[in-house]
Amino acid sequence: MSAIHTLTMPKWGLSMKEGKVNGWLKDVGDEISVGEEIIEIESEKIAGAVEASVAGVLRRQTAGEDDVLPVGGLLGIVADSDVSDADIDAAIDAFNANFVPPSDEDEDTGPSTQTVEVDGRRIRYLKRGEGDQTLILIHGFGGDLNNWLFNHEPLAAGRTVYALDLPGHGESAKDVGDGSVDTLAKTVLGFMDALDIGSAHLAGHSMGGAVSLAIAEAAPARVDSLTLICSAGLGEEINGAYIDGFVAAKDRRALKPLLTQLFSDASLVTRQLVDDMLKYKRLEGVDTALATIAGAAFKDGRQQSVRSGVLSALGKPVLVIWGESDQIIPVAHAPASGGQVRTEVLPGQGHMVQMEAANDINRLIEGFLS
């Protein structure tokens, strides 16, 4: 008997409870291959595309454009062409009869962040998956572990994946010491010590890439591979006006135009995303922390920690991914593929490719780590 597969509202990030259908990318009757994008969903944070996990034919669209569904709600049906309409109707009826939207109590029993003390600083992190392979996700300047909300779960299939808030960011302590990339790298190594992680694959975005390079230089035996996404640390140039503006921004009018520079599609900068960033920037100690890091890492609009030589010296596999239209760090910093370095440039993408082109990024990293 041919299987009937349900396509349901995904859960992106710990706080997501519902999503809105922005539009279907496939029509009823279209053949679907594994990995193809089927429907675009908008959460309170950002929009993203849902990929097919099975092959078949899109037989039903049970949710329409602008419909809002709870996490787990039925979006559509994928099945072989020989499955009868009656069987599909029965499957939809059975799903709807048994589906219970997640409650606040369900949220409490789901995965949650944890904290660990590193050199007297509280560091927040989220662990997903279990496996012999360990991957640590390191965000960029002004970000936090939620920058990986589209990547964390998919990359945790068969491996242990950690995402953490660097000092001065998210819900970690706001004491950043001298604010240098080396100090941030020392904190990540301390995080690994605290959780008894001998070595790990590191994936760093933007400033997180520079932190990853610093770790690789200081403790190469603890780095299994490097994935650098729109990475700092590979050249001196950086959009200094963005850095200075982000540190100084106090309200929506100042912050939103800056955040739109991170994406190729400005519409992805939702009101909720801006409000969440403002909420973070208004936390006690954040202004000082960001100014200290900016002064140490990006003084006078130039990167102060350039370690491009680490790529060849490390002797480990390196994956470099860049958005061709990155407005923060020039794509020209991406090294040419060669030796153990593989470089992928994504046409039309901006600085936040791990969010805006999450499915592509996940495929590239999964293939690289496999």
* Domain finish residue from 91, 107, 123: 107
Both 241 and 189 in one domain: the answer is: yes
Per-residue pLDDT, averaged over 254-270, amounts to 91
Both 196 and 276 in one domain: the answer is: yes
- Cα radius of gyration (the chain): 21
pLDDT of residue 104: 65
Domain containing 227: what range? Answer: 114-369
Question: Are the beta carbons of 204 and 301 closer than 8 angstroms?
Answer: no
Residues 6+ apart with CB under 8 A from 264: 323, 325, 348, 349, 350, 356
Binned at pLDDT 50, 70 and 90, residue 109 comes out as very low
Both 176 and 320 in one domain: the answer is: yes
| pLDDT tens-digit readout, 305-318 | 999 999 999 999 99
Binned at pLDDT 50, 70 and 90, residue 112 comes out as confident
- CA 213 and chain centroid, separation: 19
Both 101 and 119 in one domain: the answer is: no
* Domain finish residue from 84, 107, 130: 107
Binned at pLDDT 50, 70 and 90, residue 35 comes out as confident
> Position of tokens 């794509």?
331
Q: Give the whole-angstrom CA distance, residue 93 versus residue 110.
A: 27
* Domain finish residue from 107, 141, 163: 107
Both 76 and 131 in one domain: the answer is: no
| pLDDT tens-digit readout, 279-308 | 999 999 999 999 999 999 999 999 999 999
Mean model confidence pLDDT for the chain: 92
Binned at pLDDT 50, 70 and 90, residue 235 comes out as very high
pLDDT higher than 50, residue 1? no
Binned at pLDDT 50, 70 and 90, residue 105 comes out as low
The percent helix, strand, coil of the chain (3-state, each to 5) is 35, 25, 40
Both 267 and 340 in one domain: the answer is: yes
> What is the pairing mode between strands 74-79 and 318-323?
unpaired
Both 183 and 222 in one domain: the answer is: yes
Both 28 and 167 in one domain: the answer is: no
Per-residue pLDDT, averaged over 102-130, amounts to 82
Both 197 and 244 in one domain: the answer is: yes
- Classify residue 167 as exposed, middle or buried by CB count within 10 Å of its CB (0-12, 13-18, 19+): buried
pLDDT of residue 282: 92
Both 187 and 51 in one domain: the answer is: no
> What CATH number did the domain enclosing 118 receive?
3.40.50.1820
Binned at pLDDT 50, 70 and 90, residue 271 comes out as confident
| pLDDT tens-digit readout, 37-62 | 899 888 776 777 888 888 999 999 99
| pLDDT tens-digit readout, 144-193 | 999 998 899 899 999 999 999 999 999 999 999 999 999 999 999 999 99
Both 164 and 99 in one domain: the answer is: no
* Domains of the chain: total: 2
Both 149 and 173 in one domain: the answer is: yes
Helix (H) or strand (E) holding 202, with range, is strand 200-205
pLDDT higher than 70, residue 2? no
> What CATH number did the domain enclosing 40 receive?
2.40.50.100
